[in-house]
Amino acid sequence: MAQTVSITVNDVAYEREVEPRLLLVHFLRDVLGLTGTNIGCDTSQCGSCTVLMDGVAVKSCTVLAVQADGSSVTTIEGLATDGKLHPVQNAFWEKHGLQCGFCTPGMIITVVDLLNRNPHPTDEEIRHGLEGTICRCTGYQNIVEAVKHAAEAMPA
Amino acid sequence: MATKTFGAPLKRKEDPRLITGEAKYLDDVRLPGMLYAAILRSPYAHAKIKGVDTNKATKQPGVIAVFTGQDFKDLPALPCAWQAEAGRIKNNVNTPRVLEIDRVTHTGAGVAVVVADDRYAAEDALGLIEVDYEPLPVVVDAEKTTFPDAPQIHENAPNNICFDWSCGDKDATDAALNSSEVVVKHRVVNQRLIPNVMEPRGCVAQYMPASEEYTVWMTSQDPHIMRLLMTAFVFGVPETKVRVIAPQVGGGFGTKIFLYPEYCLMAALAKKVGRPVKWAETRRENYIATTHGRDHVTDIEVGAKRDGTITALKVKTYANLGGVLSTIGPGIPTTLYGRMLSGAYKTPHIYCNVLGTYTNTGMVDAYRGAGRPEATYVVERTVDLVARELNMDTVEVRRKNFIQPGDFPYAPADNILAGLKYDSGDYEKALNKALEMVNYSSFRKKQEEARKNGKYLGIGLSTYVEICGAAPSSWIGVGPTGQGWGAAMWESANIRVHLTGKVVLTIGTQPQGQGHETTMAQIVSEELGIPMDDIIVQLGDTLGTPFGYGTYASRSAAVGGMAVYNSAQKIKEKARRLAAHLLEAAPEDMTFEAGKAFVKGSPDKAKTIQELAGAAALAYSLPAGMEPFLDDVTYYDPPDCTYPFGTHICVVEVDRETGQVKILRYLAVDDVGKKINPMIVDGQIHGGITQGVAQALWEGAVYDENGQLTSGSMMDYAVPKASFLPTFELGSTETPSPTNPLGVKGVGETGTIASTPAVVNAVMDALSPFDIKHLDMPLTPEKVWRAIEATNM
């Protein structure tokens, strides 16, 4: 039985009929066409699909669209404002914090969440904070650099 | 030069779309009317298929059609591109079909496919297909599969041996071993790895009946090769009837080089159902249906003098190829393995014998480094085993055996490199730099002190050399002197300088994260003096790019980059001749520098490249016989491969009570020749080291005795996370390759190749007080703890 959900995504309100089993990530990608959020696994390990739900990072493959009813979701497409990159996006570019780019949307969202909770993390706190998101290209070193760069650039 | 772009750490041109979600990966491709496919895969590692009943699945809501192997029996099995050195040795080829018909030889083999309106409906219907399997006995081990009592997997491969390959001189090596003062024998296992690219594979295919043309989007490192193999070897249609597009590719590490059953299946389905069809691999499928890497069992025999001089190396390897062969599977543990067993050392005699074997496991093919990590692991562990046996410092043994700067170009002994020669190197310089960075002599003192306090520190070196820039076509190919790869390995580039002075560069290489849109543009910018922002690099589509062999084997800079460089020289030459005409000067008096053609000695009598591009495009006044437009297509076949080298050093502490290995420091001094973009080079090294360290300590594919992959998901397989790793300390030396004017060598795989033995050597050094000489990877806490406990010390 389809259910109606109201979800605000990147400041736009959507009302859609969805199957109760539809995953939030498929809602974003297949229903709304927001394909910036990627799917990298099927066991909630990789974190490529991480989005902000009411300001908190969630793996959108582990949330049903019906659970997101009434919430506000931010995806990678919604981070830049007024044509200006978010400081975390810019830091990944500056510090070569990405190679193939597939984990990057989820990684950037994870870092936004991390810096929201801890604006000036130590290296150890950064590496711990990235544990839920897997990158196979960078060895994480330049991601750590990017997080530090973003922390400096962001108003605390 | 007005613009110094070559060698500059420029930010990547491709990044804006990647950091904003704008990039389109395979699963982001959506076509009107597109259907979704889901594949039913064998749960058995070895079984007869006695029947497949698709009735219930076909009636499921949303299902358009269900097909089995019988529906595609007219399509041949997929090609294997390794042709066994012009037929000189046995190579019993058994490859997958688009769907298997009567037998499966590994779990994950495709048996049936559902095409449905959406991916949920397709997945649902899989459970309703009934397959009648008759399970057969299973063997998974690379060596045991050759034993007389092992189940036979393919009729055409007695004792499950696919090939029996060798290189070097057996008699000379045996004689040298017999007369050696010391002989060390050891077995090492290079465990199977699951590459785990972050973007799983996928394919979207569309068929247009009126023109009989296919368009196939796929996750590929080499779209031109995919088109060639699909058309010539599977569909039997002209190459011109298929267009292959690789959209943004999210990592490859080798796994996306190959022609897989699913790509051909989607193309066939699109024709059958008359609508576009998409298959997006799940991670579970990626574990069982995408190629794996490594999986060698190797017996080493090394001879040495008491002073540490190595006299001979004899290696016998069982290389697990899986139940069926992937596209180039047999080419990896042969050409790219045995031929690199001299490493950085002047070993006077070498012999290598490889048995490629079938087992009831997933396909094994190139994974980052592809053969060279396995060779380097053998060589670098061997050096340490010799040092241990002789009670010498490993650094001393390495120095004693190094190929010296004056020896280049160097042909390793017994023609094991089949006519190629190491291009250039200064191995001791890189070693010295790394030893200085780690402060080796003071570490040894510290280590001694720590042991007295029950702390076990270890230091491990890897003074590696590798082979990049594949490869001279006549060397790699099928000809009388070739290595038997059914390919050439030149590369292509097409520079077009438009009327506006903007450049479109199309290339035949296909990055998966390496940043070619930046580095290839840097070469053009440097050579033509055109700003980076005025250059766009287009790739990934067989429509509109020159034929190229793709991106793997760290070949894109040394081969693809050279095609770009040579193309730029031809553009310059034409620009120079055009400038002479416009300035009414003699062509031989003109020179081109920093974006301008000018009369030698009179730099103000000049035309900019932009002015010349406009003049060439408008063609109002051209020299006699000159064609309009600044446009050049170049193909570059390298004269030799390139040979990066360096020293990696790992410092560890092993916890006596838990067996836990902690990396205290990791240092790498790499010499990759000239660097086009040092920021990108460092990134490649970081990622490479991480994958190599992960093999040493954490990763390993595990099949149980029934052929079930028990490490079959990211929950069960230890892909490293950020907290596992230290901050790598990088240094470098620069020895340009003399084989190409750019001086580049390649960097994509160095980190992976070098790091694994450095880590294992470090752990074995830490465990030396327990007299533990060798443990096989991964060096998990349990394995290390058990080994220490077993010593009763």
- The dihedrals phi and psi of B378, each to the nearest 5 degrees, come to -60, -50
State the Cα–Cα distance between residues A110 and A59, nearest whole angstrom: 10
Q: Which of B173, B62, B70, B164 shows the shortest CA–CA distance to B119?
A: B62
What secondary structure letter does DSSP report for B67? E
In this prediction, residue B792 carries a pLDDT of 84
B196 closest CB neighbour out of A127, A136, A142: A136
The per-residue DSSP string of B172-241 comes to HHHHHHHT-SEEEEEEEEEEEE----SS--EEEEEEETTTTEEEEEE--S-HHHHHHHIIIIII---GGG
Q: What is the pLDDT of residue A156?
A: 62
Smallest Cα distance from B660 to chain A, Å:
18
Contact assignment for B197 to A79 by CB distance below 8 Å: no
Measured distance CA(A33)–CA(A35) in Å, rounded: 6
CB B693 within 8 A of CB B728: no
ipTM above 0.95, yes or no: yes
Residues in chain B within 8 Å Cβ distance of A33:
30
- Residue B10: per-residue pLDDT: 98
Helix (H, G, I), strand (E, B), or coil: what is residue A16? strand
> What Rg, from alpha-carbon coordinates, does chain B have?
27
Does A114 score more than 50 pLDDT? yes
**pLDDT for position B82:** 79
**Cβ of B728 and A139 within 8 Å?**
yes
Cα angle value B20/B25/B30 (rounded, 5°): 105
Is the C-alpha dihedral spanning B549, B550, B556, B562 positive or negative?
positive
- Decide if B282 and A96 are in contact by the 8 Å CB cutoff: no
By C-alpha distance, which of B260, B279, B281, B274 is closest to B214? B274
B chain contacts of residue A77, beta-carbon cutoff 8 Å: 20-22
Give the other-Cβ count within 10 Å of B141's Cβ: 18
Using CA coordinates, name the residue in chain A closest to B720. Answer: A134
What is the b/e burial string over B371-395, where b = at least 16 CB atoms within 10 angstroms of the residue's CB? bbbbbbbbbbbbbbbbbbbbebebb
Q: How close does chain B come to A70, measured CA to CA in Å?
A: 24
Q: What does the pLDDT read at residue B3?
A: 53
Residue of A nearest to B728 (CA): A141
Distance of CA B45 to the CA centre of its chain: 27
Could A100 and B198 be called an inter-chain contact, meaning their C-beta atoms sit closer than 8 Å? yes
Taking the CA of residue A82 as centre, how many other CA atoms within 13 Å lie in the half-sphere pointing to its CB? 0
Whether A102 has its CB under 8 Å from any CB of chain B: the answer is yes
Asked if B19 lies within 8 A of A43 by C-beta distance, the reply is no
CB pairs under 8 A between A and B: 176
Report, as an integer, the average pLDDT of A36-56: 97
pLDDT, mean over chain A: 97
Chain A CB contacts of B248 under 8 Å are: 101
> What is the Cα B65 distance to its own chain's centre?
37
- Cα–Cα nearest to B162, from B365, B338, B361, B319: B319
Give the pLDDT confidence of A1-28 residue by residue, as tens digits.
Answer: 899 999 999 999 999 999 999 999 999 9
Closest chain B residue to A34, measured at CA: B21
Position A77 pLDDT exceeds 90: yes
Residue B788, token pair as written in the block: 């220490």
User: How far, in Å, are A57, A154, B348, B407, B641 from residue B168 at the CA level?
Assistant: 57, 60, 11, 20, 19
Nearest to B11 among A94, A102, A137 (CB): A94
Closest CB to B24 among A35, A130, A144? A35
Closest CA to B232 of B203, B191, B202, B264: B264
Interface contact flag, B713 A134, Cβ < 8 Å: no
Gap between the Cα atoms of B714 and B724, Å rounded: 15
Name the strands in the sheet holding B293-304, side by side, starting at the edge strand that comes first in the sequence. Answer: B161-168, B350-358, B310-322, B293-304, B182-193
Entry field: residues in chain A:
156
Rounded Cα–Cα distance for residues B500 and B149 (Å) = 72
Residue B589 contacts residue B582 (beta carbons within 8 Å): no
Residue A110 contacts B where some CB pair is shorter than 8 Å: no
Mind telling me how many Å the CA of A26 is from chain B's nearest CA? 10
Closest-CA residue of B relative to A92 is: B19
Residue A137: its chain B contacts at CB < 8 A?
A: 198, 251, 513, 683, 687
DSSP code per residue over B708-739: -BSS-STTTS----GGG----EEEE-----TT
Distance in angstroms between the alpha carbons of the first and the last residue of chain B: 66
Q: Is residue A39 scored above 80 in pLDDT?
A: yes
A81 and B CB contact within 8 Å: no
Over 80: is that where the pLDDT of A107 sits?
yes
A residues 35..64 contacting B (CB < 8 A) = 35-43, 45-46, 48
Three-state SS for A3? strand
Does the beta-carbon distance from A99 to B514 stay under 8 Å? Answer: yes
Give how far A73 is from chain B: nearest CA, Å: 15
Check B20 against A137: CB less than 8 A apart.
no
Q: Which residues in chain B are contacts of A38 at CB distance < 8 A? A: 25, 27, 198-199, 250
Q: Are B16 and A86 in contact (CB under 8 A)?
A: no
Average pLDDT per consecutive 10 residues, chain B (793 residues; last block may be shorter): 81 98 98 98 98 98 98 96 62 93 98 97 98 98 98 95 94 98 98 98 98 98 97 97 98 98 98 98 98 98 98 98 96 95 98 97 97 98 98 98 98 96 98 98 96 97 96 88 87 98 97 97 98 98 96 95 98 97 96 95 94 98 97 97 98 97 98 98 98 98 98 97 98 97 96 98 98 98 98 87
Residue B25's closest CA among B540, B626, B567, B501?
A: B540
The verdict on pTM exceeding 0.90 is yes
Structure tokens given for B266: 């989607």
At A57 the three-state DSSP class reads strand
A19, A27, A34, A41: best to mutate for the B interface, most B CBs within 10 A: A41
Q: How is B324-349 classified by DSSP, letter by letter?
A: S--TTGGGTTTTTTGGGTTTTB--S-
Asked if the Cβ–Cβ distance from B719 to A136 is below 8 Å, we say yes
Distance between CA B184 and CA B382 in Å, rounded?
Answer: 9
Backbone angles phi, psi at B445, to 5 degrees: -65, -45
Looking at residue B10, the DSSP 8-state letter turns out to be: P
Cα distance from A51 to chain B (closest Cα, Å)? 12
For B197, the closest of A19, A136, A141 (CB atoms) is: A136
Spatial distance between the Cα atoms of B129 and B89, rounded to a whole number of angstroms: 42
Check residue B703 and give its pLDDT.
98
Interchain pair A40, B199: CB under 8 A:
yes
Beta carbons within 8 Å of B432's beta carbon, 6+ residues apart = none
Q: B728 vs chain A: nearest CA distance in angstroms?
A: 8
Whole-angstrom Cα distance, residue B142 to residue B187? 13
Closest-CA distance of chain A to residue B9, Å: 10
Contact B723 A42 (CB under 8 A): no
- Please judge whether B683 and A136 are an interchain contact, meaning their C-beta atoms are less than 8 angstroms apart: no
Alpha-carbon gap, residue B350 to B172, rounded angstroms: 8
Q: Which residues of A fall within a CB distance of 8 Å from B21?
A: 34-37, 75-77, 105
Q: Nearest Cβ partner of A101 from B23, B684, B721?
A: B23
Contacts of A131 in chain B (CB under 8 A): 721-723
Do A130 and B723 lie within an 8 Å CB cutoff?
yes
Query: For B581, what's the count of Cα atoms within 13 Å in the CB-facing half-sphere?
Result: 17
Per DSSP, the three-state class of B786 is helix
Gap between the Cα atoms of B131 and B133, Å rounded:
6
